[in-house]
Amino acid sequence: MTKRISIFNGPNLNLLGEREPDIYGSVTLKAIEESCRSLAETLNIKVDFHQTNHEGVMVDAIQAARLSSDALIINPAGLSFHSVPVLDALRIFGKPIVELHLSNIHARDDAHRHSIMSGSATAVICGLGAYGYIVALQAAARALGPLADGLPEPLRFGPV
């Protein structure tokens, strides 16, 4: 059975490529989605890709993913630092979660430094820019079991 991974993107990520490229880079969210879908084909997994600027919509999507996804990747963006409802939804998810940030939040200002989501995540990736999505997708897929035989050995190791 094909594994399914949901990728959730929080507020303002729809403006990637335009907003603060010195922090977030110049790659658009559409280009990131295309790269994730391409890698998902190689990994023989299905990907659901979502973006919302609304906390409640994010909570609803995470709750729905409990029934349809085997793992979750989330870039909660600004919700990372204050959204207890999103945190609670992640705690209920009960499957592998990879938290993702384009920038290195640990090197940012105080308002962008401490994600409350990290304690509920299986893994946290930050500071790799758009490439972080590729790493997150590999990590989430590996958390679900060995990867496809056609991939190089270092990428195919079993669960993280």
d(C-alpha 49, C-alpha 30), whole Å = 10
Catalytic residue among 82, 101, 106, 112: 101
Kindly state the tokens that stand for 93: 């998810």
d(C-alpha 138, C-alpha 34), whole Å = 15
24 catalytic? Reply is yes
End-to-end CA distance of the chain: 20
- The three-state secondary structure class of 115 is coil
133 catalytic? Reply is no
Q: List the catalytic residues.
A: 24, 101
